[in-house]
Amino acid sequence: MSTSTPATDGPPAVVLSGITKRFPGVVANSDVHLTVRTGEVHALCGENGAGKSTLMKILYGMQHPDEGTIEVAGKAVRFRSPADAIRAGIGMVHQHFMLADNLTVQENVVLGAEALHGIGGRARKVILDLAKSTGLTVDPAVLVERLGVADRQRVEILKVLYRGAKVVILDEPTAVLVPQEVDELFATLRAMQQQGFTFLFISHKLDEVRAIADSVTVIRRGTTVGTADPKAVSSRQLAEMMVGSELPSPETRESTVTDRVVLRVEGLGLVAEEGTRPVLDGIDLVVRSGEVVGIAGVEGNGQTELVETIMGMRRAHHGRVLLADRDVTRLGTLARREAGIGYVPEDRHRQGLLLTQPLWANRVLGHQTREPVAKGPWLDLAGAKRDTERIVADFDVRTPGIDVPAAALSGGNQQKLVVGRELSGDPVLLIASHPTRGVDVGAQALIWDEIKAARARGLAVLLISADLDELIGLSDTIKVMLRGRLVADADPASVTPEDLGSAMTGAGSTSAAVAELGGGE
Amino acid sequence: MNPSEAPATVPPPRKSRRLPGWAVGVLGVAGAVVLLSTTSYLTGVPQLTSTGTIQTAVRLALPILLAGLGGLWAERAGVVNIGLEGMMIMGTWGAAWAGYQWGPWAALVAAAVFGALGGLLHAIATVTFGVNHIVSGVAINLLGAGLTKYLSTLVFFPLSHNPRESPAVPKFDTYSAPGLSEWLGDLEAQQRVGLSDVAGILRGLVTGVSPLTMLAIALVVGSYLVLWRTRFGLRLRSCGENPVAAESLGVNVYRHKYAAVIASGALAGIGGAALVLNPGQPGYLEGQTNGRGFIGLAAMIFGNWRPGGLLGGAALFGYADGLQLRSGGKTFLALVYGAVLLLAVIVVWQLVRRRWFAAAGGIVAAVALYAVYYSVDEVPSELTTYAPHLVTLIVLAVASQRLRMPAADGVVYRRG
């Protein structure tokens, strides 16, 4: 069933045939077939909840298939645990990094594989050699909590290689990277491919799949739809295979920007630790009614702090925040929310939802003082449930009911719930941090549509995103953030992701390409 | 391809003002000695650094140290062990039961076994059945107290005619460093500023040393080596930091947690034995532990979940306890004066770092303490009895802000 470029002869690296996996109430995988040839980069595409993760967990021994067989390098295998998979030469880089922050890089790498080279100097030497031969340079002695995202990913890949894996599963490896880092990662992968490594690349970013993969298998609703040659099909065709419908686009057509200022930030400054560089430095920002202002920036350059300062979760050291001419600098978070700020946090698990609580309880969060979930000093549970039903219907949250815990929903549906909640109660300003991170194409389209519709109704939106296409498509104005400062403006009508990317890393921020394009204010 | 050129995602490295752990320890010890000898000089209370005080402090620090070490093992593996107190109580009973029949070494072994049984119970509850760690720990504390009460009525009452007390338990012989001890004694007797204080402290450490003390020190060093220098220790710590990641790498999280919590119980049990085998005690006594398991936990938190820091914390609590027990309220008042001196140093430091608020707080506290020192002649004995508990409270309130506990500590982990 596969069609495209081979790398070496011999039996395929991995063959999955007829894999079926049932969980109580759902069939996660049914009759999945997948053939990965040795030395290729094989992409696995599908919406969130389509069953990619379960399939990879089966291949990595974390789940056991109810039916079907697994062959690795021509031999049938049964994995009882990840240790078995590792022994068979399969390694996995998880989407959410599996690293212990308080251990060093070396400790993280050798953990579980101490028998190979011990945990001391010998292991260190092996790690350095590996790093050198693959280009995954990182200092083994440093604590993981000090590392940025791209470095953590390198550690994850090193971990897998250290165990002697020849087949590496990469679960959405680019979700957290900026374009330049993605390019680096791809360069690394290609170099390693030359050395005989095989990669299984899970993604729903189709451009990237087409850039790196030798063949691509699409999975939809738990079963494989087919395998294609990425050089021969377009992104649109792939997307249609994935969702079976038309491709959404973040593009907004006509401007709805008015001249009524909703949010004005003046000279905002924030110092995280005494004596260090400020994380926010003299931020001036205006968001008008009907306007989407996008903030571009590599993660860790102050976007999180900016949002949290505007939300009142951190106290600004300098400057003011005005919401429709009202100074809210000294107000707490709840008061700011009551004043009409909606907030889609960057990490819905950490800040947006109580995973173990039912959906209607999550509806109450942040609205606990307002209609329709509260009446005077009391919570209005009936009202909360009614309004949750409304969100579930209007935002197409796919759930068996509003009494299931939030954890039971897929990422996309959780995010739809959060967006629905934050757009409730007629906010005047929406702060959206990575609103479509880690959600599938369908949910992404819906969230984009809702933001666009709210914008058309006059909502002011402050958008932070690592997805540059989303940022360019949705925004009316883009500002580039670097080391706690807004360093450049960009015009979404003409800027390219590459321009933005180089401005974000500081490489081209002064090259004036972006600043000249910009006509922000 | 040059991966090292992605500077924007890498947070700037913090200023490398971090000293290695041993240097911090040496500085801390030196600072403490300087502080004590200054206080002793200014207040004219030589007992602060006398051999006797230090000896008592060491004896009293041992149970706290061992309990804290038990806490360290459990919490490094991600299990909060608030049941240390109960395991310690079981250790005291086991030590007395085996000790009066077969001598001190048997007492140690039996205490470890009894404590380990408590640990096993905690492990079964928290690891296998996913019970909240605090709930299970509290249950074990109650169980330890109740069970030993029953057992001592059953076993000890016919022998000692007191259900709350065991027959006398033989103690270890103690050893002194020959020559060194006498020389330091001479030096101490000369009452020279500074020098005699150091001599007194050293003499307290090398005179009348019980094998139990040496064992405890060996256990601290051994715990460090096992937890930080072996494969087993790395795996154990990974269970406390990120058990999901550990499991994904083939680490058997349940087994390591079991091992850690059982070891934790055994250490707490030995801590109980240290109470029973203390020369000042006849043997098992009901209520003997008197919250030392909790203080051990506090010492561990004070020590930032590290063996060296834990040693410092145990020494601090043991010293506070020893001082009040041996010399009473007047000497303890001198310690208040010492606290004022310490606060003065801290205030200067905060002023240098331009932390006005912290400095102001320090000044207020220092003035208040000095007022206490100035206005009373003697701390009432009702208060000094609770010295270790008070010190625990104050130290934790002040120190708990910059600590780094294991990331998954206290989180119930379920496989899969």
Q: What is the mean pLDDT of residues B147-161?
A: 91
Contact residues, chain B, for A110 at CB < 8 Å: 234
- Given this model, what pLDDT does residue A276 score? 67
Chain A CB within 8 Å of residue B230 CB: yes
Q: Which of A184, A504, A505 sits opposite B3 (nearest CB)?
A: A184
In a domain, A360, yes or no: yes
Q: pLDDT tens-digit profile of B4-63?
A: 333 334 444 444 456 677 788 888 888 888 888 888 888 888 888 888 888 889 999 999
**A243, A277, A302 — which closes off a domain?**
A243
Digits of tens for pLDDT over chain A (521 positions)?
Answer: 333 444 456 788 889 888 888 876 667 888 888 899 988 999 988 876 678 888 888 898 888 888 889 998 888 888 888 888 888 889 888 877 888 888 899 999 998 888 888 888 888 898 888 888 887 888 888 888 888 778 888 898 898 888 888 899 998 888 777 777 888 889 888 888 888 899 998 887 777 888 888 999 988 878 888 888 888 887 777 777 776 655 556 666 677 788 889 999 999 888 876 666 788 888 899 999 999 999 988 877 888 889 999 998 888 888 999 998 889 888 889 999 999 999 999 888 888 899 889 999 999 888 888 888 888 888 888 999 999 999 999 998 888 888 889 888 888 889 999 999 999 888 999 999 999 887 877 888 889 989 988 988 989 999 998 888 888 888 988 999 888 888 888 888 888 877 887 788 776 544 444 654 333 33
Q: Does A7 fall in a domain?
A: no
Maximum C-alpha span of chain A? 73
What mean pLDDT do residues B107-118 have? 96
**Residue among A363, A370, A351, A342 at smallest CA distance from A455:** A342
Residue type, A442: G
Does B254 score more than 60 pLDDT? yes
Residue B223: what pLDDT? Answer: 95
Pick the residue from chain B with its C-alpha nearest to A116: B231
- For residue A372, cis peptide bond before it (omega within 30 degrees of 0): yes
Q: How far are the Cα atoms of A11, A174, A292, A395 from residue A405, in angstroms, in the given order?
A: 45, 29, 32, 18
Q: Domain end: A243, A277, A300, which one? A: A243
Residues A316 and A234 in one domain: no
Residue of B nearest to A83 (CA): B250
Same-domain pairing of A474 and A398: no
Asked if the Cβ–Cβ distance from A107 to B238 is below 8 Å, we say: yes
The domain containing residue A192 runs over which residues?
A: 14-243
Of B10, B237, B250, the CB nearest to A86: B250
Residue type, A162: Y
Question: What confidence tens digit (pLDDT) does each residue in B183-230 have?
Answer: 888 888 887 777 888 888 888 888 888 899 999 999 999 999 999 999
pLDDT of residue A509: 46
Q: Do B9 and A81 touch (CB under 8 A)?
A: no
Structure token digits, residue A279: 């994380």
Q: Which two tokens stand for residue A329?
A: 């600098």
The residue written with tokens 């109430």 in the block is A25
User: Given CB atoms, is B406 within the 8 Å cutoff of chain A?
Assistant: yes
Residue A512: what pLDDT?
46
Residues A301 and A434 in one domain: yes
Domain assignment present for residue A5? The answer is no
Indicate whether A447 and A415 sit together in one domain: no
CATH code where residue A110 lies: 3.40.50.300
Closest CA of chain A from B398, distance in Å = 19
- Same domain as A193, residue A126: yes
Same-domain status, A316 and A442: yes
Tens of pLDDT, residues B357-405? 888 888 888 898 888 888 887 777 777 777 777 777 777 776 656 678 8
Q: Decide if A273 is inside a domain.
A: yes
Closest CB from B2, B7, B251 relative to A112: B251
Same domain, A260 and A192: no
Considering only CB atoms, which chain B residues are within 8 Å of A276? 12, 14
Residue A518: predicted pLDDT: 36
Residue A1 lies in a domain: no
Q: Strand A223-228 vs strand A261-270: parallel, antiparallel, or unpaired?
A: unpaired
Is residue B188 within 8 A of residue B51, CB to CB? The reply is yes
Please state, in angstroms and rounded to a whole number, the distance separating the CA atoms of residues B166 and A253. Answer: 87
Q: Which residues of A touch B130 (CB under 8 A)?
A: none
Quote the number of domains for chain A: 3
Q: Is residue A378 part of a domain?
A: yes
Which residue in chain A is spatially nearest to B10 when comparing CA positions? A148
Q: Single out the residue in A425, A445, A470 at which a domain terminates.
A: A425
How many residue pairs bridge chain A and chain B with CB atoms within 8 Å of each other? 119
Query: Do A460 and A329 reside in the same domain of the chain?
Result: yes
Q: B404: nearest CA in chain A? A: A102
Instruction: Report the residue of chain B nearest A183, measured CA to CA.
Output: B1
The residues with which A167 forms a beta bridge, in sequence order, are: A90, A198
- How many Å lie between the alpha carbon of B191 and the closest alpha carbon of chain A? 45
Are residues A71 and A19 both part of a single domain?
yes
pLDDT at residue B116 above 90?
Answer: yes
Q: Verify that A413 and A497 share a domain, yes or no.
A: no
Same-domain pairing of A416 and A476: no
Cβ contact (<8 Å) for B248 and A154? no
- pLDDT at position A520 is 35
- pLDDT in the model for residue A514: 61
Whole-angstrom Cα Rg for chain B: 23
User: Residue A167 falls within a domain, yes or no?
Assistant: yes
State residue B392's pLDDT score: 73
Are A385 and A312 part of one and the same domain?
no
Q: Which chain B positions have a beta carbon within 8 Å of A92's beta carbon?
A: 248
Judged by a CB distance cut-off of 8 A, whether residue B235 touches chain A is yes
Contacts of A82 in chain B (CB under 8 A): 247-250
For A401-409, the CB contacts below 8 A with 24+ separation are A401/A359, A402/A358, A402/A359, A402/A360, A403/A358, A403/A359, A403/A360, A404/A358, A404/A359, A405/A355, A405/A356, A405/A357, A405/A358, A406/A353, A406/A354, A406/A355, A406/A356, A406/A357, A406/A358, A406/A359, A406/A362, A407/A355, A407/A356, A409/A359
For residues A409 and A417, give the distance between their C-alpha atoms in angstroms, rounded to a whole number.
Answer: 10
Taking the C-alpha atoms of residue A463 and residue A434, their distance in angstroms, rounded to an integer, is 7
Q: How far apart are the first and last CA of chain B?
A: 38
Is B238 within 8 Å of A300 when comparing Cβ atoms? no
**Mean pLDDT score of chain B, rounded to an integer?**
86
Residues of chain B neighbouring A103 (CB-CB closer than 8 A)? 234, 237-238, 241
B-chain residues near A356 (CB < 8 A): none
Out of A102, A136, A482, whose CB is closest to B406? A102
Q: Examine residue A47 and state whether it is found in any structural domain, yes or no.
A: yes
A483-512 exposure pattern, b = at least 16 Cβ within 10 A, e = fewer: bbbbbbbbbbeebebebbbbbbbbebbeee
Note whether A92 contacts B248, CB cutoff 8 Å. Answer: yes
Q: How far is A293 from chain B (nearest CA, A)?
A: 22
